[in-house]
Amino acid sequence: MKSLTTAPYPVKHAIRFVSQVHRRLPRVTGAMWAVGLWSGDTLCGVALVGHPVARLLCPEPSGGPWPPPYHRLEVVRVAVEEGHRNGCSMLYGACSRAARAMGARDLLTYTNEDEPGTSLRAAGWVPDEGLYGGGQVSRPSRPRRPRTDLEAQRRRRWWTPWSESAPTTKG
């Protein structure tokens, strides 16, 4: 088996890859940049990073530049073809290093509540307490399409250890 490497990858091609490979949520929105995972000359995985999907985690205008700088980023999707051990961990690590190098103060992502987060733990990410999401996103003033069971599932939030908002361990 060839060794795996990471490299920047175009967002539009990464979105296409996710639509073909991701087993749960093939649709992606809000991606700003992407990282590709390569086995030799063959693309075998991607990670997409963008602004946080949760509205309350997005930057607010503060009378400064518009749009405001995105100091908080989210890994919105990771997709790796079966059979590439440690591929997800490599992508999470690459996203963490790139976001930090670009001046991000926070980097977060989510896993479904039935996922153990093994790749995130291997990459050094820290889980938040509790579960998030799963509620109704539709409001009378802004109706939304019905959510699928997967979209409505509650999620665990994870932070990179360098994130300003990462939970601290007491001990």
- Give the model confidence (pLDDT) of 10-56 as tens digits: 999 999 999 998 877 777 878 999 999 999 999 999 999 998 887 77
Rounded Cα gap, residues 77 and 109, in angstroms = 8
Whether the predicted model's global pTM rises above the 0.85 cut: no
Beta carbons within 10 angstroms of residue 40's beta carbon: 10
* CA pseudo-torsion sign 37, 93, 86, 2: positive
User: What value does the mean pLDDT of the chain take?
Assistant: 85
CATH fourth-level superfamily of 4-55+68-135+144-159: Gcn5-related N-acetyltransferase (GNAT) (3.40.630.30)
pLDDT at 130: 80
Q: Closest by alpha carbon to 72, among 50, 90, 92?
A: 50
Q: Closest by alpha carbon to 78, among 94, 96, 92, 57?
A: 92
- 60 contacts 53 by C-beta, under 8 angstroms: no
Domain boundaries, the chain: 4-55+68-135+144-159
Question: Any bridge partners for residue 160, and if so which?
Answer: none
If one compares 157 and 58, the residue with the highest pLDDT of the two is: 157
